[in-house]
Structure 1
Amino acid sequence: MTDADRRNNRRTVAAYEGYARGYAAAVPATPSPQAAADLRRFAASLAPPARVLEIGSGPGWDADFLETLGAQVRRTDVTAAFVRFQIERGKQAYPLDLLSDEIEGTYDGILLLYVVQHFERDQLDEALRKLARALTAQGVALLSHMLGDGDEWEGDAGDYRVVRWPAAAMDERLRRAGFAVEWESFIDSERRPWRSVLARKLG
């Protein structure tokens, strides 16, 4: 990982630190029908009582929904402002930087939604390997990525790093990390195509 890769991610995290409460206010607390369907399928793939690690929990809306389905969710985020926001809501939330921290313990499932677009290409393989190491045998990960090629900076100040992945390229990275994709779904959000995949740990 280059110094530039680290700087890009830190710049993005710093932008979220300043916008966390605005983000929480802008994102609906109830998942869309498609997102809810994905979360239900994810929960159904886990044997109860399932322990789920959510990376990039943000305001915690997805964790709230998963808990109504019976999952035990450990909420984490690299953005301290999001962790504070959830604690103020009466939730337990913890700091975790997937790019620099090791994941403690093992989980039946890992949720990683709207996160990997902020990782540079050279950062993704080790991040996926960390997910595999943190899953129990036959554990599953539900992750989303922005479809397409190339990378760019987004936001009013151009502070949010976005790296796009074609479906085949993401699936190959998952395969190298020890996963097999079981299903996929698609959401077109404000003309931005997103793909979610459920990937099961092999072996």
Structure 2
Amino acid sequence: MNARDQVLQREVLRFTSSLSESSEAFADSKNLLDKLCQRNGLICKLTAYPPGRSLRMLQDNESAGEMPRFEEFQQMAPAAIRVPTPLGQLSFSVLTHDKNLIVKSLNDLIKHKVFYVRGNAAIAAHKEMEHLIPVASEHDCAYMVLRKHGDACIMTKSLALKIMENSQQAADSYLLQDLFFKPVYLYLSPRHKFLLELFDQSLKQLRPEEKIAQ
């Protein structure tokens, strides 16, 4: 029996995501994973976990894979196998409370106290940032800025917009600025490396509108 047949005999392939389960990006990721698995005769489930736990599950082969993650994720999980074709892209924004703080790139924040969600390798990789502080969630990130405990918060744009919509003080307290777009990928655990070619070929066949675009 080959590796694929062994997988097909199991009930569910479990994938993890460090995104908030309430975010549109998580919903897009779940829909995309369902398409990839259906195309290959697999039954898959995507579950949200805190970044640290999802990383450990991948490294310990407790999950089949992690999505969506940026290319910097490889630095945190060297043993993980990246499916080469991107899942799509995520856009990042910066929330500030100072309307005089204009941010065109991360260089504009080097001297400032900046919060980000723990486990986000795309942000943590910027060692040039002097005061980069990890917090537990996007809501904590926004709260720290709202309470003026720091100058800025970096998070995905879709969730930042949702937080602003739900905050009565946001209109007066926040300024949302686009920061950058980055491609995101599916990473497989070492035990599930045999899924690499299947998923890569399926991703190449999908139309752009079927992929993640946040």
Instruction: Calculate the TM-score normalised by the size of structure 2.
Output: 0.31
Where relative contact order (Cα < 8 A, 6+ residues apart) is larger, the structure is 2
Which structure has the larger Rg? Answer: 2
Instruction: Calculate the TM-score normalised by the size of structure 1.
Output: 0.33
